[in-house]
């Protein structure tokens, strides 16, 4: 599949193979772009700004709604391609498509709501007789650098709000899974002028770095690792940046919790997309009094997970993105066992597959829970009371989302206020997200917010216009 730049299909002599992690078969190839190609994309995106500015908000909204219908019409084809390149079960890919459609709808609606406000200058010294109002204007060119785990939905979370407020975009899709994103860019290009949407494939160390440092780009929206996010923040200069980075999300289970609901929360939160979710349940912090019963229930449900061909609708646990990623998870779990943790179920790797794993007797100082383990692992950390639960929940460099299961709303509100995370859900796992909510964390989990309305705020600049009526 070729890159899309300025409405033209651009290839390269250097090609990157995109492989199915389930059977290692080559699905397709994409060009390995270099800096001159990234520079061409920046030029085309800047040249297209005027054509997008000439469109009314009404027209931009309608065109985005047209893309919604096209995505609906091609839902099954997109889901199949997504499963082939990522390895997630087809049913999960269909859910990602449904979320992507809803996210795109939200952006189409938001295109008509780019509001300014009146400002009472007479509230300030010498402001009597002035009338002032603000406008929210596009930044110009937004570069979106996206990850492999939810390639379509997370890309739409960046480029749809960007276009809705009349920015042009350059997409740098993940090298492991670029195809679904590139196919979606073609749908957008059918509706918008050439150059409004551009794709650049290749390695982040070259083309990603060029986009970050170029003066022709006005905003970077990145989802990925903390290490790369820190490099972007250092190199971006005066650009606006939104960085959605890692998570090490806790799920606190207090002794008065509904254990069946909490177990369901872990199944849906720790094993979704083979655990490759930044807001997935990464640490289960549970009071001693109910830990044994909870573990028994969790093991029983975990062993019902079906690992197999991701295209099979019966499969509930697909592959990791690569065998290398699965080996890393395997080594991290084995190290925890060596340090005293105990595997209750799972713990076996087969190629890029890693079994859904419940591991008990985990302590907060183990690498398994100090760093983000990006795999289908549910680590159990036993604690004595709510005070210790909050302390352990906050013993991390991350602060994306958290879940607390309890029937005591005094403890619920205390946890909600004291746990350091961008979102705290009560009686729901951290993995829950609606596409209209503000999404973004504290500490090393990043800066800025996504969620369409909030992304639009991050992708616009405010101008004040004042009239002297004296």
pLDDT digits (tens, 9 = 90+) for 215-245: 999 999 999 999 999 999 999 999 999 999 9
Q: Rounded CA gap, 291 and 293, in Å? A: 6
Give every residue of the chain whose pLDDT is below 50, as ranges: none
Q: Rounded CA gap, 277 and 430, in Å? A: 10
The 10s digit of each residue's pLDDT in 438-466 is: 999 999 999 999 999 999 999 999 999 99
Q: Note the pLDDT of residue 21.
A: 98
**Contact (Cβ atoms closer than 8 angstroms) between residue 312 and residue 411:** no
Q: Note the pLDDT of residue 245.
A: 96
Q: Note the pLDDT of residue 100.
A: 98
State the catalytic residues: 244, 278
Q: Rounded CA gap, 341 and 344, in Å? A: 10
State the residue for tokens 């994306």: 400
Phi-psi region of 23 (alpha: psi -120 to 50; beta: other; left: phi over 0): alpha
Predicted TM-score (pTM) of the model is: 0.96
Q: Note the pLDDT of residue 137.
A: 98
- 3-state SS, one letter per residue, for the chain: CCEEECCEEECCCCEEEEECCCCCCEEEEEECCCHHHHHHHHHHHHHCHHHHHCCCHHHHHHHHHHHHHHHHHCHHHHHHHHHHHHCCCHHHHHHHHHHHHHHHHHHHHHCCCCCCCEECHHHCCCCCCEEEEEEEEECCEEEEECCCCCHHHHHHHHHHHHHHCCCEEEEECCCCCCHHHHHHHHHHHHHCCCCCEEECCCCHHHHHHHHHHCCCCCEEEEECCHHHHHHHHHHCCCCEEEEECCCCEEEEECCCCCHHHHHHHHHHHHCHHHHCCCCCEEEEEEEHHHHHHHHHHHHHHHCCCCECCCCCCCCCECCCCCHHHHHHHHHHHHHHHHCCCEEEECCCEECCEECCEEEECCCCCCHHHHCCCCCCEEEEEEECCHHHHHHHHCCCCEECEEEEECCCHHHHHHHHHHCCCCEEEECCCCCCCCCCCCECCEECCEECCECHHHHHHHCEEEEEEEEECC
> Crossing angle for the helix pair 151-164 and 57-73, nearest 10 degrees?
160
**Contact (Cβ atoms closer than 8 angstroms) between residue 154 and residue 138:** no
Rounded to an integer, what is the distance from CA 344 to the centroid of its chain?
30
Q: Among candidates 285, 277, 268, 296, which has minimal Cα distance to 394? A: 285
**Contact (Cβ atoms closer than 8 angstroms) between residue 52 and residue 168:** yes
Q: In the numeric block, which tokens belong to residue 238? A: 């005066």
Q: Note the pLDDT of residue 441.
A: 96
**Contact (Cβ atoms closer than 8 angstroms) between residue 249 and residue 397:** no
Report the alpha-carbon angle 82-85-91, nearest 5: 40
Total residues belonging to the chain: 470
């Amino acid at each position: 599949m070729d890159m899309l730049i300025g409405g033209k299909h651009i290839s390269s002599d250097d090609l990157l193979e995109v492989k199915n992690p389930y059977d290692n078969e080559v699905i397709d190839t994409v060009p390995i772009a270099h800096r001159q190609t990234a520079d061409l994309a920046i030029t085309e995106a800047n040249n297209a700004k005027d054509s997008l500015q000439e469109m009314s908000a009404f027209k931009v909204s309608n065109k985005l709604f047209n893309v919604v219908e096209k995505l609906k019409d091609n839902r099954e084809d997109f889901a199949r391609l997504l499963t082939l390149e990522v390895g997630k079960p087809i049913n999960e890919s269909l859910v990602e498509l449904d979320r992507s459609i809803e996210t795109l709808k939200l952006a189409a609606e938001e295109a008509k709501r780019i509001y300014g406000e009146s400002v009472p200058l007479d509230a300030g010294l010498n402001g009597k007789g002035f009338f002032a109002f603000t406008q929210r204007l596009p930044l110009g060119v937004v570069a979106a650098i996206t990850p492999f785990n939810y390639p379509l939905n997370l890309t739409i979370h960046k480029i749809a709000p960007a276009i809705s407020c009349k920015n042009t975009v350059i997409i740098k899709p993940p090298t492991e899974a670029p195809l679904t994103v590139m196919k979606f860019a073609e749908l957008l290009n059918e509706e918008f002028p050439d150059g409004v949407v551009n794709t650049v494939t290749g390695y982040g160390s070259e083309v990603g770095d060029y986009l970050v440092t170029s003066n022709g780009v006005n905003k970077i929206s990145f989802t990925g690792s903390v290490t790369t996010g820190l490099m972007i923040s250092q190199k971006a200069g005066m650009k606006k940046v939104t960085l959605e980075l890692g998570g090490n999300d806790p799920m606190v289970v207090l002794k008065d919790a509904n254990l069946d609901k909490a177990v369901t929360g872990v199944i849906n939160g720790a094993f979704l997309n083979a655990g490759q979710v930044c807001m997935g349940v990464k640490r289960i912090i549970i009071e001693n009094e109910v830990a044994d019963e909870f573990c028994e229930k969790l093991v029983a449900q975990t062993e019902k997970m079906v690992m197999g061909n991701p295209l099979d609708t019966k499969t509930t646990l697909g592959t990791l993105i690569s065998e290398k990623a699965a080996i890393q998870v395997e080594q991290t779990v084995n190290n925890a066992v060596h340090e005293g943790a105990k595997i209750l179920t799972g713990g076996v790797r087969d190629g890029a597959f890693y079994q859904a794993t419940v591991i008990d007797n985990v302590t907060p100082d183990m690498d398994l829970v100090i760093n983000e383990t990006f795999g289908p692992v549910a680590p159990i950390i036993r604690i004595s009371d709510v005070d210790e639960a909050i302390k352990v929940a906050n013993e991390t460099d991350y602060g994306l989302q958290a879940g607390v299961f309890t029937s005591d709303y005094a403890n619920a509100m205390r946890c909600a206020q004291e746990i350091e995370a961008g979102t705290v859900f009560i009686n729901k796992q951290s993995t829950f997200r609606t596409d209209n909510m503000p999404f973004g964390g504290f500490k090393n989990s990043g800066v800025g917010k996504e969620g369409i309305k909030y992304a639009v705020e991050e992708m616009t600049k405010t101008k004040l216009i004042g009239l002297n009526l004296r």
